[in-house]
Amino acid sequence: MSNTPDRTRVRLADISSRAYEHPADRGALVALRSLRGFDEVFKRLSGLFNERALRLMYLSSSVRVSERQFPDVYDYVRDAAYVLDLDEVPELYIQLNPQPNAMAIGSNKPFIVMTTGLFDLLTAEEQRFVVGHEVGHILSGHAVYRTMLLALIRLATRVAWIPLGYIGLRAIVTALEEWYRKSELSCDRAGLLAGQDPDAAKRALMKLAGGSRLAEMNSDAFLEQAAEYDRGGDARDSLLKLLNLMGHTHPFAVVRLAELDRWVKDGSYQRILNGDYPRRDTDGNTSIAEEARNAANSYRESWERTSDPLFGTLRDVAGSAASAGGKLFDSVAHRVRNAGRGQDGSGT
């Protein structure tokens, strides 16, 4: 349990999700949201994954938290929505399932599902971190895109017998999976901002790797594991690490803890608590090109930190990608703006 009382938790009024989003996650979202009507098309396509049917399924087979059912967890959802200044408190369902998991799903009115396997694994403050993580997904709009990713994965399996169709869909799914892994790093930060207990966040991530016997684990040793994994061995190990990620929407636990620990140590977490963060009323001023460059630069910086022999060869490539990515998104934005003027006669 944390010794941090609720009254010391800082509310982050009008915080933009850009404050905690990983650059690769944020760059993709800014580019997608800038396309005229894209979100609406995306929501319509996500109807393939029927939100109404999903909600009815969980309503009939799980327990919806409230003041009378799992009241502590209900408080965590309300607190996370309050701290992150979410307009509406999302529903949360506890589902009987021994597999530790939590997710935010839906498009029009996203909701959260937490399995009993995860609920029973975590202490109160660790649960608060997980709930904040899922609220972060909702604030960032990830639930809409995750719903579409799941629909595309199902579609890819159905057309696997069509070689070219499957290859094309698999490429899209692989790109979305890479984006989603970065979105998980984003929402680990959101979970920490909601709970404001770094030790609880670390414990939760360690438990996702090693289970409930926390007394047998050590955060420093776990970070050493992360460093060893990052170093790898030779090029064969580098290739195996890439292959191991295929089909995974979540980064491995050692990577998540190392990334969150780095974010805390570089001062980003404390700056946000001190009130130094972007507000939502500035979201419309974001530059697609700048976010694309930030995304490419974030990859380059991670490769500069790593000792992995394969990723080390990609450092110069990332620099070129940063410039090319910015030009590409500038071009797309220009075309979209011109198309908008042609349709409605508006524009400056």
Length of the chain: 348
* Sequence-separated (6 or more) residues with CB below 8 Å from residue 197: 2, 4, 125, 128, 129
Of the candidates 16, 297, 200, the one whose C-alpha atom is nearest the C-alpha of residue 305 is 297
235: left (phi over 0), alpha (psi -120 to 50) or beta: alpha
* Sequence-separated (6 or more) residues with CB below 8 Å from residue 94: 62, 63, 65, 70, 73, 114, 115, 116, 119
SS3 for 93?
A: strand
Of the candidates 179, 199, 175, the one whose C-alpha atom is nearest the C-alpha of residue 260 is 199
**Distance of alpha carbon 126 from alpha carbon 116, whole angstroms:** 14
Q: What are phi and psi of 112, to 5 degrees?
A: -115, 140
Partner residues linked to 114 by β-bridges: 94, 102
**CB of 78 closer than 8 Å to CB of 49:** no
Residues labelled as active-site residues: 134
**Distance of alpha carbon 231 from alpha carbon 223, whole angstroms:** 12
